[in-house]
Structure formats: C-alpha cells, structure tokens
A and B are shown apart, each in its own frame.
Chain A
Amino acid sequence: MAEPLELRIRNRPEDLSPAMEAISRWLESRGAFAGAEYLALLAVEELVTNCIKYAYDDALEHWIRVGIRLSGDELVVSIQDDGQPFDPRSLPEPDTDLPVEDRPIGGLGIHLLRNLFDALDYSRVDGHNRVVLRKRAAAEPSV
C-alpha cells in the first residue's frame, strides 16, 4: 500500500487553502482515479471548515489531522480533531418533501458527502472525533 498523505491543519480558515493545494498535488502525482481529487477536496473543505467554525469553544490553537490514502482503487479520507463530540451521521437527512429553497441550509455539506462517498464512518476515541470517508473508483465498463 502506498504511503498516505498526512497533514496537520491549524484551526484558522487561512490554513485551509495551502492544505487543499497539497492534497491536489499529492493526488495528481499519484495518478488518482478521475474524481478522487474533487471528492478529497470537497471532504476536507466541508469537514475542516465545520470543525474550525463549530468544534471549539475556546480561542486556543488546535490542530486538525487530515489523512489521504489511495489503496488500490479506493480513496480514503480521514479527519481527526479534538473538538466537541460531533457525529455527522446524527444529522437528519434533508426533508425531500420540502422545496430545496425552503429546506434548512445547515448540514448541506454533510448531505453531499454522504451521497458522494460510499461510506462515512465516525468514532470518538480518547477525546477525538474521527471521520473516515471511503470511495471506490467507478468500475470499468465490463466487456
């Protein structure tokens, strides 16, 4: 299995962009499957932004750990933070009976990730939230 990319991102919005650039470069250099870069960037932007905005009720510096791994045809994105417990799976699915414009806008990012990835797992270990997202490349069309 190839070495994963491991990043530590400070809980400051301005630290997000350089991390996303590093993820792009890393995935490109490893010839990741089509779509992997978009998914990884979306996941990191949504989850790290949530974390920076909502996970901490102090003004201290915290570090959010991001891991990106390609194993075979699978992309695995993991995000770990020491903020307040938050299980993204606990958010209700949007009420699809309501017109989109009338639905509450919170949770939109998580909704996207749950639908775009094959799996979203969460665990709370030793005071840390850990979210792991997995996506397999679309199968080659069979001959």
Chain B
Amino acid sequence: MSQLQVTVQHHPAAGGGDRVTIQLAGSLDSTTVHLLESRLTPAVASRPVQVVFDLGGLNLVTSAGIRLFLLTSKQQKQQGGQVTFVHLQPQIREVFQIIGSVPGTKIFSNTAELDAYLIARQKAHGSGE
C-alpha cells in the first residue's frame, strides 16, 4: 500500500491571522491524494494568511499531487493567502523546477529561511503603512 501521513498544525501568523502548516510524509500519488484533499478543506476553512507545506518526509509526488498543490495555490492567491513549500528532497525539487514557478508560491530550504522571509515581508508591509 502506498501511504501518506498528513499532520496539520495551526499557529498564529507573525502579522496576525492564521498560519497552517501541513506536514506530509510518504507518497502523494493518485491513490493517496484524496486523503490530503479531505484534510485540506477543513485546514484552510479559517482562511489562513499562510499555508506551509512541509515536504520533508515526502518521498514521492506525482502529477496528482502537483495538481492539488496548484489548485490550493490558486485558491489561496484568490483569498489573499500565500502558499509556501519547505524541506523539498532533491528529486521533488527537480519536479517543482520542471513545473515552473507558481505565482503566489515560494519554496524554501528550511523553516528558518521561511521565517526570515515572512518576517521581512511583514516588516516591509508594516513600514509601507
């Protein structure tokens, strides 16, 4: 059986609002994508300002999983939220490179890099007001 573990955590985002981290482990493919879909819907119901996919434990992602990532990115962008990806293993990074950059989406090596970006973004946003 190909398997997928999905762990959802909610945190307050640095600049207010909700930050949702979705940790994935195992294989995100045509047989497991429905599990992520069913966990995503309630996870983003609060209209989080940031959705972070932590792919550190993911060892396979197929086009079925990529489609869901693209759809989620599109929906979040429409709602003013942002989707980020952290901890991509080399082969998953290669898959993302082939797909091309997704508007409203960013990829980070680790959570420290992600946090630094979000804090900088928050500061820039704050100083603009």
Could you list which residues of chain A lie within 8 angstroms of chain B, going by C-beta atoms? Answer: 13-14, 16-18, 20-21, 35, 38, 41-42, 45-46, 49, 96, 99-101, 105, 108-109, 111-112, 115-116
Distance between A66 CB and nearest chain B CB, rounded to angstroms? 15
Q: Flag if B70 contacts A100 (CB, 8 Å).
A: yes
Q: Flag if A42 contacts B102 (CB, 8 Å).
A: no
Known: A17-B2, A100-B70, A108-B67. A45 touches B62 (CB 8 A): yes
Could you list which residues of chain B lie within 8 angstroms of chain A, going by C-beta atoms? Answer: 1-2, 27, 29-31, 59-60, 62-64, 66-67, 70, 73-74, 77, 90-91, 94-95, 98-103
- Chain A contact surface mostly: helix
CA A16 to CA B30, docked complex, whole Å? 10
Q: Which residues of chain A are within 8 angstroms of B100 by Cβ–Cβ distance? A: 96, 100
Q: Flag if B98 contacts A45 (CB, 8 Å).
A: no
A-B pairs with beta carbons under 8 Å apart, 10 shown:
A14-B31, A18-B1, A20-B27, A99-B103, A100-B70, A101-B73, A101-B74, A101-B77, A109-B62, A109-B63
Q: Flag if B91 contacts A38 (CB, 8 Å).
A: yes
The residue from A16, A41, A108, A116 contacting B60, defined by CB atoms under 8 A apart = A41
Q: Report the 5 A-B pairs with minimum CB-CB distance, sorted nearest first.
A: A109-B63, A108-B63, A115-B98, A38-B91, A17-B2
